[in-house]
Structure 1
């Protein structure tokens, strides 16, 4: 009897080797990632995709079993993050709390926000409220990981505790710390969104596509996160497979952008396209107007553009929004020393003001005036940009 117990706790019911346990761990942790990115994030929080009830409930059950997260709470915290991004009300902004705290204590920040009933009621609407949600998942969230611990020990013995511990750390590290922390601190940006979001890698394979965080902030309701040809979103691959099996229905993806020929002035179609692709337009302005101007003026002064600190160069993309007082003063000095750069920076500010106009008719007039003045500026890169901008259109 005693020997049998020792054997059970040493090997569990399946007597799996290390290789088999490693494969099991990879599968179950990726299922947890998919439950978060596909169900909680893309489906529940942003309504980008709907799943067949059986698939949706499996994801909901698996998230409860492996993370103890309540759907309504997770959705509410995430929606508030988007609504109040990079402000004091953002539940987990590195700009507010610092990168170290968000990276290492992101799960604690999540719990504080998740336990705020006001946040839950305001931002958690439309999430499941059926019998099992009220009486099991939301009422006893910790029962899921407890059950998982018992199952893990039963299957693998004492090794099951190690597997369970890794599962418990998986989402707190990769989602709460890695994505919420580094995803607003380090990486590349396709879009100059009104936040500090970044893409951590062009290949979203390990965290279900959540690596493409800047793309997501640019088009939050899109079920597809990969938006450039070289980017990969494994979550989207799974969605497409489920769609082929009629187990998923894609509701929204990021709209594409067309450029029409022979457009003399922006029209209402241009305005709709520019507003939809606002972040795309601002990114192009930085890359096609501001940076070439900075390089040209540096060359004329026999200087190297790399002599300008990288942080200042990047700050020109958003008007120095995230710089401190000293940084903004340095950026202003940089701009004032370069007349053409000063002009294109001013044009950027005016373009933003035109796009921020709430009345469509006035916004269109402002955009038309901006294009006229840009084309008359005598600055070739600005003229080329204006010629492309006025031809923006959404696909038919």
Structure 2
């Protein structure tokens, strides 16, 4: 009898080897990541995709049984993050709380935010409110992880404890920590969004595509996160497979920016494109105007662009938005001694103002853009004039999901 008990504790019902345990662990944790990114994030929160009711409930059940997360709480906290990003009200901004706090204690920040009733009422609308949600998933959130713990013990014995523990910290670390933390602190940016979101890697495979965080912040409702030819979003690949079998319906993807040749004046198509792609426009301006100006300025000074502090170069891309006052003054002083750079930075600020005029109507935005393009072409700065000519031809390309 004792031998039977000890044998069970050592290997559970399966008596599996190390390789099987590792494969099992990777499968269940990746299923959890898919439940979060596909159901909680892209479907329930941002409404970028609808799943067949059976698929949606399987994903909802798995997020409950593996993490104990309540759909309405997760959705509300994430929507508030987008609405209040990088402000004092952001539930988990590294700018506010510090990178170490978000990386290692992101789950604690999430729990605090999920207890705020005002947040749930304001941002948690449209979430499931069926019988099983009201009587099981929400009031008994911790029954899910408890069930997972019991199953793991039954399958693997004492090793099930370690597997369960790693499962429970997997999403808090990779999603609440890495994506919400490092994804607002380090990485590359395709779009000059009004927050600090970055892409951690062009290959979104390990965290279900969530690595492409800057892309997501530029187009939150898009079901597809990979927006460059070299980028990979494994979550989108799963959606495409499900769609092929009639199990998913894509509702929104990021529109594609097109450039029409020989457009003499901005028109309605230009305005539509700029409203949808204002973050990409500002990124294009940095790459096409400010960066070449920096290179030319450094060349004339007899040194490489490396001689210009990287922090300054990055700040010029967003107008010094995230600099403290001391650093901002240093940036302004550096610009003041570079007349051409000062001019293109002034034009950047004016363009940003024009792009914010959409609340005043299309006519006001059209007039401002027309004036901006005319003055940019008359500036005598080749990079600026070329960008203005290109800007006039911006349009939305037909969406191909």
By how many angstroms is 1:304 displaced? 2.5
Where does residue 363 of structure 2 map in the other structure?
361
Residue aligning to 2:10:
10
Report the 3-state secondary structure (helix = DSSP H, G, I; strand = E; otherwise coil) of the residue aligned with 1:257: strand
Q: Superposed, which structure 2 residues align to 1:119-268 within 5 Å?
A: 119-268=119-268
Matched residue SS, 1:21: helix
Q: Cα deviations across residues 96-152 of structure 1 (Å, max 9, x unaligned)? A: 111011111100000000111110110010000000001000001011101110110
Q: Where do residues 107-122 of structure 1 align in structure 2 (5 Å cutoff)? A: 107-122=107-122
What's the CA shift for 1:303? Answer: 2.9
Deviation at 1:294, TM superposition (A): 1.3
* TM-score, normalising length: structure 1: 0.99
In the aligned structure 2, how far is the partner of 1:171 from the partner of 1:239? 20
Give the whole-Å Cα distance in 1 for the aligned partners of 2:194 and 2:311.
Answer: 17
Runs of 4+ in 1 over 3 A off after TM superposition: none
Q: Would you say 1:393 and 2:376 are equivalent positions?
A: no
Is 1:41 aligned to residue 41 of structure 2?
yes
Which stretch of structure 1 is more off in the superposition, 352-361 or 381-390?
A: 352-361
Specify the alignment match of 1:309 in structure 2: 309
TM-score normalized with structure 2 length = 0.98
Structure 1 gaps of 5+ residues are: none
Counterpart position of 2:348:
348
Q: Secondary structure at the match of 1:127?
A: coil
Distance 1:334 1:54 in 2: 59
Q: In the aligned structure 2, how far is the partner of 1:290 from the partner of 1:334?
A: 14
Task: State the partner residue of 2:382.
Answer: 380
Q: Which residue pairs with 2:289 in the alignment?
A: 289
Q: Aligned partners of 1:259 and 1:365: how far apart in 2?
A: 20
Distance 1:294 1:257 in 2: 26
RMSD: 0.8
The separation in 2 between residues aligned to 1:304 and 1:392, in whole angstroms, is 33
Q: Which runs of 5+ in 2 are unaligned?
A: none
Residues of 1 paired with 2:260 and 2:91: CA distance? 42
Q: How many residues align?
A: 396
Instruction: Tell me the residue number matched to 2:101.
Output: 101
Residue deviations 1:154-211 (CA, integer Å, cap 9, x gap)? 0110011111011001001000100000000011111111111110001001000000
